[in-house]
Structure 1
Amino acid sequence: MYKIKVGISACLLGQAVRFDGGHKRSSFCERELGAHFDYHAVCPEMAIGLGAPRAAIRLIRRHGELRAETRDGSLDVTERLIAFSEQQAGRLDFLSGYILCAKSPSCGMERVRIYTANDKAPGGEGGAKEGIGLFAQALMAANPLLPVEEDGRLCDPVLRENFVLRVFAYHDWQQLCASGLSAARLIAFHSRYKYLVLSHATGHYRALGRLLADLGQGSLEETAQRYIQGLMTALTLRANRRGHTNVLMHLQGYFKRVLTPSQKRELTETIDKYRLGIVPLLVPLTLLRHYLCEFPNPYLAQQVYLNPHPETLRLRYGL
């Protein structure tokens, strides 16, 4: 079975690489996502030669400069950690996503605690949650389109579904580019993603349509780069109930000539129940997929919106 290559903080796979000699194994990452992802595990702190267990590293702001040091100041790994992070981040373009360990001074993607050093507390005091881990910062700077998420945020069903959706979409794009980009293939790719984009951001949906309408006006490579930037930005915006309802109603229109009056009424009522929060997204989607099997439509059948990720992950149950 082919698996998508995704980077991950090594501790999340149960590797004993944390400062205390332990790990932060995530069963969701290891078991459920692991059935579909081929992980590339990295621990930046171990990679620069630190052992486990070891003295904890913290981010300390000293004289306006951010340093990665131990609390007592006996070890400063700032330059080593930055050098490794920048070098490693530039070699990860084969990945389709990355899962980072939250709160880590090397891997945290947001709200990492930053301490402030002063004469009374040379090892730092306070600790505002406003930083980004040094490796995470280099990773996102070098790979701005790469879907990145933290393990803790994956506990939120909306953020979890959004991240996995983006990983599969970005992998799909990488496969397109690897097979040879052409104007026809780019348009075909967008045709499959139209309703998925519409569910996330109406403005981006329109902008991408205008971009491809002028496809012959400039370089294909430049247009493709602008397209994927727009697509990944749109998918980063979380789809809400209103956006999904809008798409469901669009999809409903494809069946207006083939459904019986009672079937039309059932579909309309089911979509409205979703809009009101009575049933989850999976309910109207299941009904639409049923009618698609009964009344085949090649254009609808190719829509990524209907199956953006494996059903076995059960990611749309709570949406």
Structure 2
Amino acid sequence: MTGPAPVRPRVAVSSCLIGELVRFNGGHSRDRFLAGPLDPYVDWVPVCPEMEVGLGTPRETLRLERSPDGPRLMTRRTRADLTGRMAALAEARAAALDVDGYVFKSKSPTCGLHGIPLYPGAEGQPVDRRRRGVFAAAIVEAHPLLPVEDEGRLHDAVLREAFVERIFAHARLRALLEDDWCTRDLVAFHARHKMQLLAHDPAGHRAAGAVVARAGTRPRAEVASAYTGAFHAALAERARPGRNVNALQHCLGMLGLDPARRDHLAGVIGSYRAGLVPLSVPAALIRHDAEGEGAAYVRDQTFLSPYPDELALRHHVPA
């Protein structure tokens, strides 16, 4: 079995985060990780809702305000209500969205995912700080299994690695289903992703496997829809250290190593479980031994190399 062909995730992003001069003050909020290490490996789909509804830059600042009909998106100085225009744009964008992930601008009343303040009106202090931005909320509601983050949370090593892992997995499945695939192709795809799915969600791993097992007896479109739902739902669950250990042990069990080498690898997996080494260490050793043993099934598991190694995102030690 050969490994999956390299893919480039399509990732929607708030335009300011990759250096476009679209902020309210005429500037940008270029993020070093997105516009730096990640940039060579993804295809960005820049989006600035404020510019798309015609606000231009520089522009008035916006905020969410309480009303009987729900939060309203208001300009601070001229008191223009932009809720309808922004909601219509979000609906249109959500309907046409074809991406593997989305990175939103944090703290934005349009694009923020977490902790957006809601004000009581033109005056006063926030009455709620747990809202989403108007545009971001519509996208997330329309695409609940889409990997989404804001650039602030991507500064956390664990969240950054989890997001990047998911966008590459989504991209691989998209590439498969956009091609002229057959049941055999889906079986091979699922075989490569078994340990990755197991590390995220054992029940989801079984659900995806059940779809594959019946793939030859169902219409292709139905199979694609069912597998996509099961695959994305499984990956939406966090791959915690205990489940990673389970996947590592499964990989180890499939290698025909001599007792000394097996004991050594088992010890390294134990060190990962104890929080002494990062996941990159046992994963690299297992992949190396799989290469040496000619164990293609283990070598090609996406769990061992879920995105380009150059991104080096698995070097954090689990808490």
**TM-score surpassing 0.5?**
yes
In structure 2, distance between residues paired with 1:43 and 1:221:
33
* Helix, strand or coil at the partner of 1:225: helix
* Helix, strand or coil at the partner of 1:173: helix
Aligned: 1:39 with 2:37: no
* Helix, strand or coil at the partner of 1:41: strand
Task: Output aligned runs, 1:65-214, within 5 Å.
Answer: 65-72=70-77, 74-93=79-98, 95-117=99-121, 122-123=122-123, 125-214=125-214
In structure 2, distance between residues paired with 1:135 and 1:64:
17
Report the residue type matching 1:15 in the other structure. E
* Helix, strand or coil at the partner of 2:254: helix
In structure 1, distance between residues paired with 2:171 and 2:278:
27
Q: How far off its partner does 1:113 sit?
A: 1.5
CA, structure 1 residues 148+168, in 2 after alignment: closer, same or farther (shift >3 Å)? same
Report the residue type matching 2:65 in the other structure. I
In structure 1, distance between residues paired with 2:184 and 2:216:
11
In structure 1, distance between residues paired with 2:106 and 2:313:
21
In structure 2, distance between residues paired with 1:295 and 1:141:
46
Q: How far off its partner does 1:43 sit?
A: 0.9
1:126-158 Cα offsets, whole Å, 9 max, x none, are: 241222212212322343443221111111111
* Gapped regions of structure 1 (runs ≥ 5): none
Report the residue type matching 1:56 in the other structure. T
In structure 2, distance between residues paired with 1:288 and 1:132:
42
* Helix, strand or coil at the partner of 1:69: strand
In structure 1, distance between residues paired with 2:269 and 2:105:
38
In structure 2, distance between residues paired with 1:124 and 1:235:
42
Task: Output aligned runs, 1:143-292, within 5 Å.
Answer: 143-216=143-216, 218-255=218-255, 257=256, 259-292=257-290
Correspondence for 1:55: 60
- Are 2:94 and 2:139, in contact at CA under 8 Å, matched by a contact in 1? yes
- Are 2:13 and 2:45, in contact at CA under 8 Å, matched by a contact in 1? yes
Aligned: 1:28 with 2:33: yes
Correspondence for 2:313: 315
CA, structure 1 residues 191+3, in 2 after alignment: closer, same or farther (shift >3 Å)? closer
In structure 1, distance between residues paired with 2:84 and 2:253:
59
Q: How far off its partner does 1:218 sit?
A: 3.8
In structure 1, distance between residues paired with 2:30 and 2:130:
25
Q: How far off its partner does 1:217 sit?
A: 5.1
* Helix, strand or coil at the partner of 1:248: helix
Report the residue type matching 2:271 in the other structure. K
In structure 2, distance between residues paired with 1:131 and 1:304:
36
* Helix, strand or coil at the partner of 1:233: helix
Q: How far off its partner does 1:223 sit?
A: 3.0
In structure 2, distance between residues paired with 1:73 and 1:143:
33
**What is the identity percentage for the equivalent residue pairs of Structure 1 and Structure 2?**
38
In structure 2, distance between residues paired with 1:188 and 1:229:
18
- Are 2:7 and 2:172, in contact at CA under 8 Å, matched by a contact in 1? no
Q: How far off its partner does 1:216 sit?
A: 4.5
Report the residue type matching 2:14 in the other structure. S
Correspondence for 1:17: 22
* Helix, strand or coil at the partner of 1:62: coil
Q: How far off its partner does 1:71 sit?
A: 2.9
What TM-score, normalized to structure 1?
0.91
In structure 2, distance between residues paired with 1:69 and 1:4:
34
Deviates more, 1:79-88 or 1:28-37: 79-88
Deviates more, 1:274-283 or 1:132-141: 132-141
Correspondence for 1:5: 10
Q: How far off its partner does 1:279 sit?
A: 1.1
1:87-123 Cα offsets, whole Å, 9 max, x none, are: 2222221x22211101211111232222223xxxx44
Relative contact order (C-alpha < 8 Å, sep 6+): which is higher? 2
1:157-189 Cα offsets, whole Å, 9 max, x none, are: 111111111111111111111112322222221
* Gapped regions of structure 2 (runs ≥ 5): 1-5
Q: How far off its partner does 1:15 sit?
A: 2.1
CA, structure 1 residues 114+217, in 2 after alignment: closer, same or farther (shift >3 Å)? farther
In structure 1, distance between residues paired with 2:41 and 2:125:
43
